[in-house]
Amino acid sequence: MLPTNNDAAPVLSVRGLKKSFGSNTVLNGIDLDVPRGKVVALIGPSGSGKTTVLRSLNGLETPDGGTVTVGEVSLDFGGSVTKKQLATLSNRSAMVFQQYNLFPHMSVLQNVIEGPLKVQRRPRAEVIAEAEKLLDRVGLLEKRDAFPFELSGGQQQRVGIVRALALKPQLLLFDEPTSALDPELVGDVLAVIKELADEGWTMVVVTHELVFARQTADEVIFMDGGVVVERGPAQEILRAPKMPRTQLFVQRLLHDI
């Protein structure tokens, strides 16, 4: 299941990423590298630009400047970028969203196989067999024919993770994957993500779950106001951050746990 590649280069490399919406500068020169098999957690207050970074990596947003390289695909947003080029970038990663984003009119299995069949044009029998294995892994094989409205929020998010894995991406992106869940459902979803990290998937995770980030991430990046304020090993940043703004943010969130 896990994509393999012997290339020692980072799976993800970002340089000088910029994005504005009107007069509001959301990203102001973001640099980011994620080595193969590593997990980077993006933390920061609402409006700091974390989700815009993820959407730029996946081609859902078009940055105003900078370069994004995922695997062997590199785009320079300093010039014009075509929809085809954005699609090529998007195909190298898969995103798990806050609100699940499952197709409500499709069953669980149909949601999982849609991308591999329609986008990647892989053989149907192969795709279904792999999807069933993935659903079994997260304890949802018996729900293969259920519809999203018949599932709990935690179950829907686990389907969202399976849907991303079914695409066999080089890079997994998680945008606050537990923010829409009831507190008692958070643990099951975080456990799945931690298992993926332990298996060596390359991931960028936007999260407010700081204990999870400390346990799972290799590097933590604290963003505020569209810039990187502080970055470093997870244990270092989340136990003893150096920058006053990071200290205040971490203390407030950990105090609420």
> Residue 5 above 70 pLDDT?
no
Residues 112, 140: Cα–Cα separation, whole Å: 12
Lowest-confidence region among 39-43, 70-74, 128-132, 183-187: 183-187
Segment 74-78 long-range contacts (CB within 8 Å, at least 24 positions apart): 77/17, 77/18
pLDDT attached to residue 253:
86
Q: Looking at the domain that runs over 12-92+172-256, which CATH code has it been given?
A: 3.40.50.300
Q: What is the pTM of this model?
A: 0.92
pLDDT digits (tens, 9 = 90+) for 124-134: 999 999 999 99
**H-helix or E-strand spanning residue 103:** none
Cα–Cα distance for residue pair 201/39, rounded to 1 Å: 8
Q: Is the pLDDT of residue 167 over 60?
A: yes
Q: Note the pLDDT of residue 80.
A: 87
pLDDT, mean of residues 235-255 = 92
Looking at residues 225-247, what average pLDDT do you find?
A: 95
Report the pLDDT value the prediction gives residue 16, as an integer from 0 to 100. Answer: 97
CA distance 108 to 166: 13
What ranges do the domains of the chain cover? 12-92+172-256, 102-168
Comparing 182-186, 214-218, 241-245, the range with the smallest average pLDDT is 182-186
Where helices occur in the chain by DSSP H, the ranges are: 50-57, 83-90, 108-118, 124-137, 153-166, 183-199, 210-216, 234-239, 244-256
What is the pLDDT, as a whole number, of residue 100?
A: 87
Report residue 8's pLDDT band, with 50, 70 and 90 as the boundaries: low
pLDDT value of residue 6? 47
pLDDT of 256 reads 57
Per-residue pLDDT, averaged over 3-16, amounts to: 75
257: pLDDT strictly greater than 60: no
pLDDT confidence bin for 166, thresholds 50/70/90: very high
- 23-65 pLDDT tens trace: 999 999 999 999 999 999 999 999 999 999 999 999 899 999 9
Average pLDDT, the chain: 92
